Amino acid sequence: MSESNPNTPLIPPSSSARKLPDFTKSVKLKYVKLGYHYLITHGMYLFLSPLILLIAAQLSTLSLQDLHDLWENLKFNLISVILCSVLLVFLSTLYVLTRPRPVYLVDFSCYKPDDARKCTRQIFMDRSKLIGTFNEENLEFQRKILERSGLGESTYLPEAVLNVPPNPSMAEARKEAEMVMFGALDQLFEKTNLKPKDIGILIVNCSLFNPTPSLSAMVINHYKLRGNIISYNLGGMGCSAGLISIDLAKDLLQVHPNSYALVISMENITLNWYFGNERSMLVSNCLFRLGGAAILLSNKWPDRQRSKYRLVHTVRTHKGSDDKCFGCVTQKEDSNGKIGVSLSKDLMAVAGDALKTNITTLGPLVLPMSEQLLFLAALVGKKVFKMKVKPYIPDFKLAFEHFCIHAGGRAVLDELEKNLQLSDWHMEPSRMTLYRFGNTSSSSLWYELAYTEAKGRMKKGDRIWQIAFGSGFKCNSAIWKALRTVNPAKERGPWMDEIHWFPVEVPKVSTI
The residue from 233, 268, 272, 439 that is catalytic is 439
End-to-end CA distance of the chain: 33
The residue from 110, 119, 406, 475 that is catalytic is 406
Interatomic CA distance for residues 233 and 210, integer angstroms:
8
439 is catalytic: yes
Per DSSP, helices labelled H in 298-384 are: 323-326, 347-366, 369-383
* Residue 267, Cβ density class (10 Å: 0-12 exposed, 13-18 middle, ≥19 buried): buried
Using H for helix, E for strand and C for coil, what is the string for 454-477? HCCCCCCCCEEEEEEEECCCEEEE
Give SS3 for 25. helix
Q: Assign residue 421 a region: left if phi > 0, alpha if psi is -120 to 50, beta otherwise?
A: left
Rg (CA), the chain: 27
Per DSSP, helices labelled H in 106-240 are: 121-131, 136-147, 159-162, 170-192, 215-223
Q: Are 399 and 423 in contact (CB under 8 A)?
A: no
Interatomic CA distance for residues 358 and 285, integer angstroms:
29
Interatomic CA distance for residues 455 and 447, integer angstroms:
12
DSSP structure class, residue 115: G
The residue from 277, 402, 404, 476 that is catalytic is 402
Q: Are 6 and 429 in contact (CB under 8 A)?
A: no
The residue from 239, 286, 404, 475 that is catalytic is 239
286 is catalytic: no
318 is catalytic: yes
68 is catalytic: no
The residue from 318, 325, 328, 475 that is catalytic is 318
Strand partners, 265: 205, 293
Cα separations in angstroms, 499 against 195, 314, 460, 495: 30, 30, 21, 5
Say which amino acid occupies 287.
L
Please count the other Cβ atoms lying within 10 Å of the Cβ belonging to residue 335.
8
Interatomic CA distance for residues 350 and 348, integer angstroms:
5
Contacts of 426 (CB under 8 A, 6+ apart): 6, 397, 402, 403, 417
Interatomic CA distance for residues 228 and 235, integer angstroms:
22
Q: Are 75 and 68 in contact (CB under 8 A)?
A: no
- The CB-side HSE value for 44 (13 A sphere, CA atoms) comes to 4
Active site residues: 239, 318, 402, 406, 439
